[in-house]
Copies of this chain bind each other. A is one copy, B any other.
């Protein structure tokens, strides 16, 4: 009788929100405010228009859009049509956007007017381009009165494809399933604490892992999405105050924007701030605490639906000093409730090819691996890359870390970012955190640069706080007081800003290339 199990799909969340809280506010986007019932209608209309446009089951539909109502509707409407959503990073070059449209065989490309304008002169393989600002209503007029079922036949069918940021090589298309999206959304709902009445601010791009599945999780709780098109301090604070925001997410750089904006002020009601993308520095942790907000640190990759693990605070941490707590909080923690265990494994597998865990001593470095419902189905049209990523039956993150005795994982570095100096591994993240713990340091990145004697040596790029006058010697001494001497950078460059990817990660690759070039 198991055939009676209903296939898992996040479409159910919108069906239910519209059933149970039809008149509650679903989305706020500037002056536009719609209810759950209207959001469901909008998804139905989009789905019907997509089908009327000849898009078949499993075919892709691309969106090049900011955090706007239409992109949120698409997270339900596109899969409701039986199609697959490709939400494209808006900060990519025209050529990269064209590549993603071609690689995903997207049939239609929807986009913001100005983002589409930037594609002028680029060859696009899509059959149709729809301008969300000028042509969307006309497109939607193709819809009939049909109401599609909020169902999917096969829960392992692809619901979205998210392209990796591809710091090296071509971006890869990460396939999420209806089942994975459903479960990860429930996991986010639990760990972020979404309930009916929650008000979520979109400081995170929706095109980034479908907003870590919060596109679906917020609606699962019949809570309210508040759109934000550009991450600016004044806009964030206006919405936090006026829209009574109690949840938001972002990379640490977004948190810095939040905490250092002129409008920043202590909050008199709860705000949960979830961060990922890089371990939050002690400075950021302290700043968020000073606002009166609660910081939640999670960790994951595009391949893991966004967050896979959470650094869940433990009861015994309540007796730690702020500094001790910061160290605990900067770790990546353990698998979320809907994920499997997270492991750290050795480079060498056992004789039978199985993966061998490192010692849980906080010292032995290995690769972080994950599996299960929190991990993608595979890379679109790339069997080789998929097989390589899943060698030994676990997804290989390419991230290096250690397993602590308490079962929490700590990320040390991306495999390609590790600095090998005199045969010793140096975690650039570790050095970055040591530098970031100095009160005059606002932002920092460490990379490995060639060194005749040692092979490589760490080099730091530091952004200081306004009015700070710290010098290199002081910072090096600060690091040496905290880490082994060989880990201290012997060269520190002071700069105004660090180059970052669209998702807030420092582009270490670009810095390394600049070093090599000159």
Q: What are 24 A-B pairs at a CB distance below 8 A?
A: A1-B376, A1-B386, A1-B390, A2-B156, A4-B390, A4-B395, A5-B156, A5-B177, A5-B372, A5-B373, A6-B373, A8-B183, A12-B337, A13-B337, A16-B341, A19-B335, A21-B312, A24-B315, A186-B337, A186-B338, A190-B190, A190-B221, A193-B195, A220-B337
Kindly identify which residue among B16, B177, B221 contacts A334, using a CB–CB cutoff of 8 Å: B16
C-alpha gap A215/B1 in the complex (Å): 24
Considering only CB atoms, which chain B residue lies closest to A16 in the complex? B337
Give per-residue flags for A362-400: 1 if the beta carbon is below 8 A from chain B beta carbons, else 0: 000000000111011110000000100010010100000
Considering only CB atoms, which chain B residue lies closest to A189 in the complex? B190
Instruction: Determine if B373 and A177 form an interchain contact, defined as CB atoms under 8 angstroms apart.
Output: no
Instruction: Determine if A371 and B4 form an interchain contact, defined as CB atoms under 8 angstroms apart.
Output: yes
C-alpha gap A261/B20 in the complex (Å): 35
Known contacts A19-B341, A20-B312, A21-B314, A179 near B335 by CB under 8 Å:
no
Q: Does A316 touch B at the CB level, under 8 Å?
A: yes
In the complex, chain B residues whose CB is within 8 Å of the CB of A12: 337, 340
Mark A residues whose CB is within 8 Å of B: 1-2, 4-6, 8, 12-13, 15-16, 19-24, 156, 177, 179-180, 183, 186, 189-190, 193, 195-196, 220-221, 312, 314-316, 333-335, 337-338, 340-341, 371-373, 375-378, 386, 390, 393, 395, 406-407
In the complex, chain B residues whose CB is within 8 Å of the CB of A15: 341
This chain: how many copies in the complex?
A: 2
C-alpha gap A193/B189 in the complex (Å): 11
Minimum Cβ distance to chain B for residue A201 (Å) = 20
C-alpha gap A373/B337 in the complex (Å): 19
Known contacts A23-B315, A189-B190, A4 near B393 by CB under 8 Å:
yes
Minimum Cβ distance to chain B for residue A1 (Å) = 4
C-alpha gap A22/B334 in the complex (Å): 12
In the complex, chain B residues whose CB is within 8 Å of the CB of A23: 314-316
In the complex, chain B residues whose CB is within 8 Å of the CB of A335: 16, 19
C-alpha gap A378/B3 in the complex (Å): 11
In the complex, chain B residues whose CB is within 8 Å of the CB of A21: 312, 314-315
C-alpha gap A15/B316 in the complex (Å): 20
C-alpha gap A334/B372 in the complex (Å): 31
Instruction: Determine if A19 and B407 form an interchain contact, defined as CB atoms under 8 angstroms apart.
Output: yes
Kindly identify which residue among B179, B180, B196, B312 contacts A312, using a CB–CB cutoff of 8 Å: B196
Instruction: Determine if B407 and A377 form an interchain contact, defined as CB atoms under 8 angstroms apart.
Output: no
Instruction: Determine if A2 and B377 form an interchain contact, defined as CB atoms under 8 angstroms apart.
Output: yes
Minimum Cβ distance to chain B for residue A256 (Å) = 28
C-alpha gap A130/B254 in the complex (Å): 59
C-alpha gap A350/B309 in the complex (Å): 49
Kindly identify which residue among B22, B183, B312 contacts A407, using a CB–CB cutoff of 8 Å: B22
Instruction: Determine if A378 and B6 form an interchain contact, defined as CB atoms under 8 angstroms apart.
Output: no
C-alpha gap A190/B289 in the complex (Å): 27
Minimum Cβ distance to chain B for residue A437 (Å) = 26
Instruction: Determine if A378 and B1 form an interchain contact, defined as CB atoms under 8 angstroms apart.
Output: yes
Instruction: Determine if B6 and A372 form an interchain contact, defined as CB atoms under 8 angstroms apart.
Output: yes
Q: Which 8 A-B pairs have the closest CB atoms?
A: A6-B372, A2-B156, A1-B378, A19-B407, A1-B377, A20-B334, A20-B312, A6-B340
Instruction: Determine if B2 and A177 form an interchain contact, defined as CB atoms under 8 angstroms apart.
Output: yes
- Most chain-B Cβ atoms within 10 A of its Cβ — which of A186, A376, A393? A186
C-alpha gap A378/B2 in the complex (Å): 8
Considering only CB atoms, which chain B residue lies closest to A371 in the complex? B4
C-alpha gap A375/B312 in the complex (Å): 32
C-alpha gap A5/B376 in the complex (Å): 9
